[in-house]
Amino acid sequence: MKLILGNGKTAQSIARFLKGQGIAFQLIKDTRDIDDHNILQSIDEIFISPGIPQTQNIVIWARAQNIPVTSDIELFSRYTKAPIIGITGSNGKSTVTQLLGEMVANDGKKVAVGGNIGKPALDCLSSDVDFYVLELSSYQLDYTQTLNLLTGVVLNITPDHLDRYPDFDHYVKSKLSLYRYCQHPIINLDESLTSKIDNAKCFGIDMPKQATDFGTVTCHGSCYFLKGDDMLMAVDEMKLIGKHNITNILAALSLGDQIGLNTDSMIATIKTFKGLEHRLEWVVRKQNIDYYNDSKATNAISTIKAIKALIHKHKTISLILGGIAKDEDYSELFALINQHITSVILIGQSTKIFKTNIKTPQTHATSMQAAVDIASNTDCEAVLLSPACASFDMFDDFEQRGNIFKQCVNNLGGKI
């Protein structure tokens, strides 16, 4: 008998899959419903939602009894026949996953994209797929012991989810565990926490050292993507904004090259790829103000990257900031805001914490509509929603927060 723990879409996808396979299971939505261990006597494996931390009593007990506690990703890997590409990182993994998926499709291959983005992995299973491209969270990797990846990458590692791990080192180990499962690893040379791996394909902002590696070069004031010594395209030709997206594109190129995609096809995809919703998404221009939705920025480093991307395009920026602050160092973000942001509109629980550290003129708003109204009346060229915080104090998730922001922007008066 299998036990499924959880109440989200991952748990539901596991239940659908096991039912389809004719495998007996019991679904428990809340671990608090297990008031004794009698229910576990016939259980030989537990499939767990990634949202349930390893510190839960049921997880500790099961591991002490040598009962496997398994992710949906590992279960998925047992049944798939097509190659799997795994992508993780503190930031950028959704963008790279989606971009690579579009590269595969535009190269004439059949692809399924999912995991921690879009569909749960098990809902992607099909006999009619050439490649699976999966975004993998640290939570999913924590419950994975066996996984067969053709190739994969750890994009970057910065402090995040520290409420879930004893310390940063444990979070780093969780991310780097992806490489245990890779036949052909991809390494970001600009990520100092990634160890050297023999025979890995590499990418980085600097010029490539190997003919098969990807990088960039600046020549006569313009920056270009390179594979080895070969120039591929000018950075200005991509629709994505920001230096961090240059790195994301290099990662996607490296992964695509590793699985045999045509380079010209990949470049054509990059030139038309507009990015993902809620990731530094340009919304509209109204009354000479550009509005950007970066609701996915739930930590400091994400907001830092967003600001750095926009300050090269806009001289004055109003920033909507706040929510549930994470256990991380915000000092670099505060310094950047104080230097480059024209005005700040604070929302959510973090207002008191942020208020004392930000010297830029600031206002407090009790709703997203109020925040947008205030920002639209400041003297700025751009309004940026990039909260640097979780959303659960005011919204269901970052998607709802971003969608409400866009609705509020569209409700503003004035011509587009």
Measure the CA–CA gap between 217 and 230, rounded to whole angstroms. 11
Pair (135, 86) in one structural domain: yes
pLDDT score at 415: 45
CATH number where 24 lies: 3.40.50.720
pTM for the model: 0.84
Q: Is residue 14 part of a domain?
A: yes
Per-residue model confidence as pLDDT tens digits over 161-174: 777 899 999 999 99
Provide the token pair at 271.
Answer: 């030139």
Query: CA–CA separation, 218 vs 222, rounded Å?
Result: 5
Domain identity same for 184 and 162 = yes
Confidence grade of residue 29 (pLDDT, cut at 50, 70, 90)? confident
What angle (nearest 5°) sits at the alpha carbon of residue 61, between those of residues 55 and 63?
90
Task: Measure the CA–CA gap between 331 and 333, rounded to whole angstroms.
Answer: 5
Residues 252 and 288 in one domain: no
What is the C-alpha separation between 45 and 48, in angstroms, rounded? 10
Residues catalogued as catalytic: 93, 116, 161
Neighbour tally for 85: CB within 10 Å: 27
The parent domain of residue 10 ranges over 2-70
Same domain, 316 and 385: yes
Instruction: Give me 305's structure tokens.
Output: 């990257």
Percent with pLDDT over 70 in the chain: 97
Query: Of 222, 255, 272, which closes a domain?
Result: 272
Q: 295-317 pLDDT, tens per residue?
A: 999 999 999 999 999 998 899 99
Statement: residue 416 has pLDDT above 70: no
Mean pLDDT over 254-277 rounds to 96
244 plus 166 within the same structural domain:
yes
Same domain, 233 and 326: no
Both 88 and 53 in one domain: the answer is no
**244 and 285, same domain (yes or no):** no
**Residue 401 sits in a domain of what CATH number?**
3.90.190.20
| Total domains, the chain | 3
- Among 55, 70, 85, the domain-final residue is 70
List b or e across 361-373, with b for residues whose CB sees 16 or more CB atoms inside 10 angstroms: ebebbeebbebbe
- Residues 6+ away with beta carbon under 8 Å from 299: 90, 91, 158, 159, 160, 326, 328, 388, 389
* 271: CB partners within 8 A, 6+ apart: 233, 237, 238, 239
Inside any domain, residue 416: no
Last residue of a domain, one of 272, 307, 324: 272
Whether 136 and 255 map to the same domain: the answer is yes
Residue 35: pLDDT band with limits 50, 70, 90: low
Highest mean pLDDT among 57-66, 157-166, 169-178: 169-178
The larger pLDDT score, comparing residue 199 to residue 245, is at 245
Question: Would you place residue 36 in the very low, low, confident or very high pLDDT band (cuts 50, 70, 90)?
Answer: low
Q: Where are the beta strands (DSSP E) in 167-280?
A: 182-188, 201-203, 214-219, 222-227, 230-234
